[in-house]
Chains A and B, each alone.
Chain A
Amino acid sequence: MAQYGFYVDLNACIGCKACQMACKDRAGNEPGINWRRVIEVGGGEWRQSGTSWTPDIFAYFLPTACHHCSNPPCLPVCPTAAISKDDNGIVKINVEQCIGCHYCEWACLWGAPQFYEDRGIVDKCDFCKDIVDAGGSPACVEACPMRAMEWGDIEELRASHPGATFAVVPLADPQDFGPNSTYTAHVASTDRVGEILNQEEI
């Protein structure tokens, strides 16, 4: 049994948000609901050399969605047993069972489950399960013009990208949840810590 996951090369991502839009398009999500989000991270300062000041700044983009954790915190807390993990490790919400109590939202560290005001339920990235089961690739991966994203067995992804990690700013410390996303960190972030620049948008 595989555990599916995502890999993103943050050096290749240009922040075009095609993945975000492809996801919205496929899931039919209204504005305000984003199963995949692209976080803009940046920082830096002005440096003085002699009498002149020059900007020493950096920025990078970080696409994130549900990490289909090995030990997902959302799953056991759900009172309706609407959340399940399938043979491929995909964590899915059964929206017919969900009553929209928000509890999974409180448990997830990365804001993956999102509430639909109009339908009164919570839903999130399902790894494009229908497409993947039919032999295709998730919409976000397919849409990336930079080919920065990959999907597959997370162990294989980690093996084929040495140095890939989940420890990238601004993703929260995963505790023992075992998120199944991995990233090649942006070169600018190896010695500097940026902050989220598009908080309003995500």
Chain B
Amino acid sequence: MNYPDHEWSLIIFNILGDLSVGVFVALGIVHFYAARKTDAKQASQLSTRALLVLGPILVLGMLAVLGHVGNPERMFNMLSNLDTSWLAREVAFYGAFLVVGGVFAVLQAITLLSPAQQERLPEGFRKALPTLRPILAWVAALLGLAFVFSAAMIYYDPRLAARQTGWAHLYTPILFFADTGMLGALALGVGFVGNYLWLQRKQKEPGAKETLSIQEGLLRDAIQGASFVSIALIGVLFVTIPIYLVSLGAENNNLNEAILDMLHTDFAMLWFLRLFLAFTGAGILSAFAWYLAVRPQRRQRLFYLMIVGAFVCVLASEVIARYLFYGRNAVLLIGGM
């Protein structure tokens, strides 16, 4: 039995990719909500900086995945078989998400410029922005979700089912989408807290007080949503995991036996940590964050700490989950014995 230590590049790529898509989609929902509740300017104050952080994260993910392939300089060859290869589709959707999302982020960043600076832009371009932005946002979100789906299908692919019994289960797509949702929601929560603290430091500017109180309201609403999403998704995962394990045990073959054996021998501690951290982060800490978010005058610091703690626990749990995920492939068997 081998440990999947050579798969760190894939683990990092998948987590950063899923996190970015999750944040992008969650940002879209929050932005839409904030624009309806307050106005476009306030919504932009809340979400644009978080959006700009995604670019470097996605580029980092791309660099990480190059560590997995033997000939990174030929990476564009990976787009040659979109017809039948989920891996080719994953790469294509990731690239497209990065490009379209990037263009959208640049257009969105214009809202952070001062009115005088915005005046200098060509008039036609300025007029087109309100139409262009939502279209790009929708396209980028769909491309991102298509990336997560393709990434899950790489492992869920029935053509791999004979060999990769640990992957060819509905647990795989559920794990990928739950990751996207939980990491996205909680990372966005952390981003919003950071954004709010940054706005707080600029309190001396005229009109800042009013902005700050509106932003605090939005922040609390957003955290309520993020906590709710992560609690709901950890519920889904905790229902799926036992079903997955039972179905591995029910189908009696050597591969499944080897996988189950790994989970209660070599990987037992990691498996426990994965479940413990997921429950603590997405369950307990998220519930506390939600509780503090609905009671505005309660302890600010503790409130921020809960969200950051929940994110850190879920991130650590997901890293372990992906490590175990590739561990299930490390049972190299020739001829099924």
Contacts and interface: CB of A to CB of B under 8 A. Distances in A.
Contact of B159 (A97, A101, A107, A122): A107
Contact of A79 (B71, B81, B162): B81
Given A99-B69, A115-B70, A170 B85 contact: no
B91 A79 contact: yes
Contacts of A171: 335-336
Q: Is the interface of B mostly helix, strand, loop or mixed?
A: loop
A60 B264 CA distance: 34
B70 A172 contact: no
A143 to B, nearest CB: 21
A109 B75 contact: no
Contacts of B162: 73, 109, 172-173, 175, 177
B211 to A, nearest CB: 48
B334 interface: yes
B134 interface: no
Interface string A52-77: 00000000000010000000010011
A120 B335 contact: no
Nearest to B75: A99
B77 A99 contact: yes
Given A76-B84, A76-B159, A99-B70, A110 B334 contact: yes
A73 B85 CA distance: 11
Contact of A170 (B75, B81, B337): B337
B289 to A, nearest CB: 39
B69 A97 contact: no
Contacts of B159: 73, 76-77, 107
A78 B336 contact: no
A121 B72 CA distance: 11
B77 A39 contact: no
Nearest to A108: B163
Contact of B69 (A100, A106, A173): A100
A172 B331 CA distance: 14
Contact of B335 (A110, A115, A177): A110
Contacts, number: 118
Contacts of B332: 111
Contacts of A108: 163
Contact of B81 (A39, A78, A196): A78
Interface in A88-129: 97-103, 106-111, 115-117, 119-122
Contact of A99 (B78, B85, B163, B329): B78
A107 B163 contact: yes
B221 interface: no
Interface of A: 37, 39, 64, 73, 76-82, 97-103, 106-111, 115-117, 119-122, 169-173, 175, 177, 195-196, 202
The list of the 9 closest CB pairs from A to B, nearest first, reads A100-B70, A120-B70, A172-B336, A79-B88, A76-B84, A81-B81, A80-B77, A79-B87, A170-B337
Interface of B: 68-72, 74-75, 77-81, 84-88, 91, 154, 157, 159-160, 162-164, 329, 332-337
18 contacts: A39-B334, A39-B335, A64-B334, A76-B84, A79-B79, A79-B81, A81-B85, A97-B74, A97-B77, A101-B70, A101-B78, A109-B336, A111-B335, A115-B70, A120-B69, A170-B335, A171-B336, A202-B334
